[in-house]
């Protein structure tokens, strides 16, 4: 058996024997004595089963021209090369055959060496074309693999490879690696749809194509995350980010969309060109994450402290489950004072992590991490249960009723089983719902408003007291306040912090108190730290005060002594 196969289609057995004898030492030989059989053999064997067809043009019945026409019309065999054989020496017949799809022609009587050479040429030409097709397909596949479908930019993997190659070739140079994204892209998609969101991404890609036409590597890492790497000093990062933002703003203006895109970026000034590209990228991402939700900054530069922070955060995440099982999360209670009587009337439960070997871990460190990964829901439930235990203990020992409020994290607020979990806890410890108060931040009322209001009303109907926490921090409208179900208003500590610095703050705070009282809602002022602030609250009729001037957060035992002393 040979690698190549020749089909000889000729109605003359003598011609088939003659040509087969010449070629049998190099090829596998197939024969057909009419056009129909020739087509059937081609269809049966396919393009890979026949390398060349030697086709007599003047067979009776279905002629060679008929065979060529039917072959060319069938995609499965259209690419099989055909060398036509004719006794005609008329140029027009040869041209007709070539136009009909023949690869070459031979004229009878056949010269053996000429036939061999022409078959070789046709086979070689086919193999070269197949090779070119394979190369083209590989190139196309590589392009598809390396480029993002939507924007045409490098994918994450391709970007890292190209960046590493660029840095390796020019190792004497210093580079900046920048990662950026749209901080409010998810919100945009929810408001205006993913189609317009995709147009934003494409517009950003076009802008980057223009900005980096003369150098640099850039790509789309996924979703709305982009990156670019360029030689330090070639361009101003802030100008680049602003240019992309302007491009997006122009697109939105053309679409009559009233939305301001917010871009945040992290910059890694690459000091060691030998570091893995993925590590370089991680560092830029770490820098970017420090400016998310920061209204004063939108670009941050990486430094080694961020790595230390990342390791510390990872250590916290690695130990959170153990800490919960080990009872390391403790409740501290901060008293809330009645301004008129100067007596404690309630308290807020605050979480503290007493971590063995590390001391007390600040909530400002672990709470944001737990909110991000969802563990906050477990910790919330643990704190709520501790509060129920404290309230039940005071009841069982005949101590005065002191309501304690707990905070709902954003994760817990959107937990479908929130109501059932809280009710189950107060029923488990037989706690009066009015003593288990629930604080919901003002900003939460702007997120899925109907869902939040429905949930709050359900809690109130059961008997829980609901407090709006951090009121005045910049989210709610006074006009909408009358529609929000709330029993007590907690004014954000920013008012006390700025009371003496800004004369308008006193007027604004007074208006809040009067507005709340007009709706029959008492007000708690947070962050009260001086006697002057306390006196101001008394003068404007504020109901309650919470802060270091009244009392610092304390463990439950100390809180009990504190309340007993003040109320005795």
CATH for 539: 3.20.20.450
Q: Residue 414 is part of which domain span?
A: 311-567
Range with top average pLDDT, 262-266, 338-342, 362-366: 338-342
- Say yes or no: 552 and 511 in one domain: yes
Give pLDDT, residue 416: 82
Is residue 510 in a domain? yes
What ranges make up the beta strands (E) of 318-374? 329-338, 343-355, 359-361
Rg of the Cα trace of the chain? 40
521 and 404: one domain?
yes
Residues 446 and 517 in one domain: yes
Contact 531, 549 (CB under 8 A): yes
The chain-wide mean pLDDT, for the chain, equals 89
88 pLDDT more than 80: no
Structure confidence at residue 475 (pLDDT):
44
Over residues 371-395, mean pLDDT:
93
454-473 mean pLDDT: 90
Give CA–CA dist 264/67, Å, rounded.
66
Report if residue 25 sits inside a domain: yes
Are 399 and 531 members of one domain? yes
Q: Are residues 284 and 315 in the same domain?
A: no
C-alpha distance from residue 448 to each of 1, 406, 414 (Å):
75, 21, 9
Whether the per-residue pLDDT at 516 is higher than 70: the answer is yes
For the cut 90, the answer to whether the pLDDT of residue 487 exceeds it is yes
Model confidence, pTM: 0.57
Does residue 492 belong to any structural domain of this protein? yes
Q: What is the pLDDT of residues 423-440, one digit of tens each?
A: 999 999 999 999 999 998
Domain end point (choices 273, 302, 331): 302
Domain count, the chain: 3
Phi, psi of 270 (to 5 degrees): -70, 115
Q: What are phi and psi of 116, to 5 degrees?
A: -60, -50
How far apart (Å, rounded) are the C-alpha atoms in residues 363 and 376? Answer: 11
Closest C-alpha among 216, 221, 228 to residue 178: 228
Helix (H, G, I), strand (E, B) or coil at 95: helix
The predicted structure's pLDDT at residue 1:
65
Q: Is 543 exposed, middle or buried, given 0-12, 13-18 or 19+ CB atoms closer than 10 A?
A: buried
- Of the listed ranges 487-496, 497-506, 534-543, the least confidently predicted one is 497-506
Whether 478 has a pLDDT exceeding 80, the answer reads: no
Among residues 109, 143, 177, which one ends one of the domains?
143
How is the chain split among helix, strand and coil, in percent rounded to 5?
Answer: 50, 20, 30
Residue 547 pLDDT > 60, yes or no? Answer: yes
Residues 205 and 235 both lie in one domain:
yes
**Are 331 and 356 found together in one domain?**
yes
Which positions ≥6 away from 17 have C-beta within 8 Å? Answer: none
SS3 121: helix
- Name 402's Cβ contacts closer than 8 Å, sequence gap at least 6: 344, 345, 346, 347, 394, 435, 563
3-state secondary structure of 8: strand
For residues 376 and 254, membership in a common domain is answered with: no
Asked whether residue 351 falls in the same domain as residue 284, the answer is no
Residue whose pair of structure tokens reads 């060529």 in the numeric block: 68
Final residue of a structural domain among 143, 167, 191: 143
pLDDT at 447 over 80: no
Tell whether the model's pLDDT for residue 294 goes beyond 90. no
pLDDT at 455 > cutoff 60: yes
Tell me the pairing of strands 329-338 and 343-355.
antiparallel
Q: Where are the alpha helices (DSSP H) in 397-492?
A: 410-413, 418-428, 449-462, 478-481
Q: Are residues 546 and 407 in the same domain?
A: yes
What mean pLDDT is predicted for residues 458-478? 80
Residue 481 has pLDDT above 70, yes or no: no
Which residue shows structure tokens 């197939």?
30
Residue 109: is the preceding peptide bond cis (ω within 30°)?
A: yes
* Residues 249-277: tens digit of each pLDDT: 998 888 888 777 889 999 999 988 888 99
* Position 483 confidence tier, pLDDT thresholds 50, 70, 90: low
Q: Burial-class residue 229 by CB neighbours within 10 Å (0-12, 13-18, 19+).
A: buried
Mean pLDDT within 482-494: 85
Q: Does 63 map to a domain? A: yes
Short-list 190, 185, 174, CA closest to 229: 174
Span 98-139, pLDDT tens digits = 888 888 888 888 889 999 999 999 989 888 888 888 888 877
Question: What percent of the chain shows pLDDT beyond 70?
Answer: 95
């Amino acid at each position: 058996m040979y690698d190549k196969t020749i089909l000889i289609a000729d109605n003359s057995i003598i011609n088939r024997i003659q040509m087969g004898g010449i070629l049998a030492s190099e090829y596998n030989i197939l024969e057909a004595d009419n056009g129909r059989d020739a087509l059937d053999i081609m269809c049966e064997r396919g393009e890979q089963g026949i390398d060349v067809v030697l086709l007599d043009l003047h067979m009776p019945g279905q002629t060679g021209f008929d065979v060529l026409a039917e072959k060319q019309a069938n995609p499965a065999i259209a690419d099989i090369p055909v060398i036509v054989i004719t006794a005609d020496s008329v140029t027009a017949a040869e041209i007709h055959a070539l136009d009909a799809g023949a690869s070459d022609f031979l004229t009878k009587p056949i010269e053996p060496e000429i036939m061999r050479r022409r078959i070789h040429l046709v086979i070689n030409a086919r193999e070269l074309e197949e090779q070119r097709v394979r190369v083209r397909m590989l190139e196309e596949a590589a392009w598809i693999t390396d480029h993002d479908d939507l924007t045409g930019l490098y994918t994450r993997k391709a970007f890292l490879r190209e960046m590493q190659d660029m840095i390796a070739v020019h190792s004497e140079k210093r580079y900046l690696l920048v990662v950026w994204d749209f901080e409010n892209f998810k919100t945009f998609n929810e408001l205006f749809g993913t189609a317009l969101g995709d147009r934003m991404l494409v517009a950003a890609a076009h802008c980057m194509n223009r900005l980096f036409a003369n150098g640099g590597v850039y790509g789309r890492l996924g979703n709305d995350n982009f990156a670019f790497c360029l030689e330090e000093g070639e361009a101003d990062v802030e100008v680049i980010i602003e240019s992309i933002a302007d491009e997006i703003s122009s697109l939105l203006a053309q679409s009559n969309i009233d939305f301001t895109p917010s871009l945040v970026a992290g910059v890694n000034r690459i000091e060691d060109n030998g570091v893995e590209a993925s590590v370089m990228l991680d560092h830029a991402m770490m820098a970017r994450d420090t400016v998310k939700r920061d209204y004063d900054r939108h670009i941050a530069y990486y430094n080694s402290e961020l790595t230390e922070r990342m390791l510390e955060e990872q250590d916290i995440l690695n130990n959170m489950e153990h800490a919960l099982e080990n009872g390391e999360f403790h409740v501290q209670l901060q008293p809330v004072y009645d301004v008129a009587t100067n007596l404690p009337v309630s308290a807020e439960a605050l979480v503290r992590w007493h971590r063995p070997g590390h001391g007390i871990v600040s909530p400002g460190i672990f709470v944001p991490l737990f909110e991000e990964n969802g563990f906050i829901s477990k910790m919330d439930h643990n704190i709520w249960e501790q509060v129920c235990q404290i309230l039940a203990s005071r009841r069982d020992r005949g101590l005065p009723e002191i309501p304690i409020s707990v905070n709902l994290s954003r994760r817990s607020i959107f937990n479908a089983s929130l109501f059932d979990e809280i009710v189950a806890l107060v029923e488990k410890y037989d706690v009066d719902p009015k003593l288990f108060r629930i604080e919901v931040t003002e900003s939460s009322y702007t997120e899925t408003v109907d869902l939040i209001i429905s949930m709050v009303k359900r809690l109130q109907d059961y008997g829980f007291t609901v407090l709006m926490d951090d009121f005045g921090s910049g989210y709610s409208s006074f006009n909408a306040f009358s529609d929000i179900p709330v029993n007590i208003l907690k004014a954000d500590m920013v008012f006390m912090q700025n009371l003496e610095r800004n004369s308008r703050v006193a007027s604004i705070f007074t208006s809040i108190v009067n507005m709340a009282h007009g709706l029959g809602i008492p007000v708690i002022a947070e962050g009260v730290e001086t006697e002057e602030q306390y006196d101001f609250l008394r003068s404007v009729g504020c109901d309650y005060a919470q802060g270091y001037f009244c009392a610092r957060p304390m463990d439950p035992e100390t809180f009990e002594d504190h309340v007993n002393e003040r109320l005795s």
